[in-house]
Amino acid sequence: MASVELKGLTKRYGTIAVVDDVSLHIEHGHLVCLLGPSGCGKTTTLRLIAGFVEPSEGEIRVGDRLISSPAHTLPPERRNMSMIFQSYALWPHMTVAENIIYGLKLRKMDRGTIGKKLDAILATTKLAALASRYPGELSGGQQQRVALARALIVEPETLLLDEPLSNLDANLREEMRFEVRRLHDAYRYTTVYVTHDQSEAMTTADLICVMNLGKIEQSGSPEEIYDRPRSEFVARFIGSSNVIKGQGRDGGRVDFAGVVLRCTGEKVVADASTAVSIRPHDIAIAAQAPQATDNVVPATVVRQVFLGGSRDYMVEVKDGTQLRVVTAAEDNIPQGSAVWLTLPPERCRALSG
């Protein structure tokens, strides 16, 4: 295994940069998720790493080896990488075992070595009972595990996954997230995982890189990305935050709807328009004015919905801004009621532009 490093990686089609000056260091044995909406550049970045696309600028290194630059691109088959596509691409006329060992046969390994490696990977991926079946006789999740086993058995330096769970139904997709992480922990290959699904990224990744318009908007651990978004795009994309707009007062305070909010996060510039994010479940809502007045905003309930385990409110404050608030199910405040919102200062994140 080896680390992967991208330096100033850029890919242009005409005048459009679909990957724009991306730099990223992926530690040996880590799983990194490139997360973002369609068209953000994540799949093109993966294809650049795989060698299917040549860069317009920048370099890709695996360990000490330069594998991609505008002057020299190592072909995919010489990169010691395995890639899993959305379609899994299993041979329909081969059994599970034959599909898995296909790469070893191409490498002309002896039968004894192939047999030992096959037994080990079948046990790890829990496919031993299915070894003699054909892909058409398997469920989507089983086919996904076969694709993973085929990629892992050749012992790649780097494992690349392109939206590998997108063809599965919701329940199976949730189950397979944990399976991907379990197999990563078993083998510890350096892994780059592309997805638009934040739950997949949160479940599987050591490091999440949120991409937007060809750039990495923010990178960090799942906890850091969720709890400490730095930009409005990341706050909205990860966990559906409320993003409110106010006027900066000083380094840590923002005027919003007639109230001074104390905030953490990015530095607040005086007299500048400032965006502040707060999660719906971090806002406390009350039908009576609280004794404390810090970060308390009067509002009116526009609608509320009972969701079984919770209630989902939409409330409107003095300046017309609407905020979503999620509370326990027993907190039943009727539509049209006057309420008071408490926005904890440590949960109000001032954002960069």
pLDDT 10s digits, 114-164: 999 999 989 988 899 999 999 999 988 888 889 888 988 988 999 999 998
Dihedral sign for Cα atoms in the order 122, 123, 126, 130 = positive
Distance of CA 322 to the CA centre of its chain: 27
User: What integer best gives the mean pLDDT of the chain?
Assistant: 92
pLDDT 10s digits, 52-62: 999 999 999 99
Task: Supply the pLDDT for residue 312.
Answer: 96
- Mean pLDDT in residue range 60-75: 93
Q: Tell me which residue of 333, 328, 290 sits closest to 314, measured CA to CA.
A: 333
Report whether 141 contacts 169 (CB < 8 A).
no
Instruction: Tell me which residue has tokens 């905003």.
Output: 297
Tokens matching residue 72: 């020299």
Domains, the chain, with CATH or none? 4-227 (3.40.50.300), 243-350 (2.40.50.140)
pLDDT 10s digits, 87-117: 778 899 999 999 999 989 988 899 999 999 9
As separate numbers, helices (DSSP H) first and strands (DSSP E) second, the chain gives: 9, 21
Helices (H), 96-169: 96-100, 102-106, 111-124, 140-153
Report whether 248 contacts 75 (CB < 8 A).
no
Task: Supply the pLDDT for residue 338.
Answer: 97
Q: Tell me which residue of 305, 60, 96, 332 sits closest to 192, measured CA to CA.
A: 60
The 3-state secondary structure of 214-241, one letter per residue: CEEEEEECHHHHHHCCCEHHHHHHCCCC
- Mean pLDDT in residue range 252-274: 93
Please name the amino acid found at residue 159: L
Q: Tell me which residue of 3, 166, 50, 149 sits closest to 90, measured CA to CA.
A: 149
- Mean pLDDT in residue range 174-199: 91
pLDDT exceeds cutoff 90 at 206: yes
- % of the chain residues with pLDDT over 90: 75
Q: State the Cα–Cα distance between residues 282 and 10, nearest whole angstrom.
A: 39
pLDDT exceeds cutoff 80 at 1: no
Beta strands per DSSP E along 54-189: 57-62, 65-68, 81-84, 158-162
pLDDT band at 353 (very low <50, low <70, confident <90, very high): low
Q: State the Cα–Cα distance between residues 317 and 308, nearest whole angstrom.
A: 26
Tokens matching residue 191: 């892994």
Report whether 40 contacts 214 (CB < 8 A).
yes
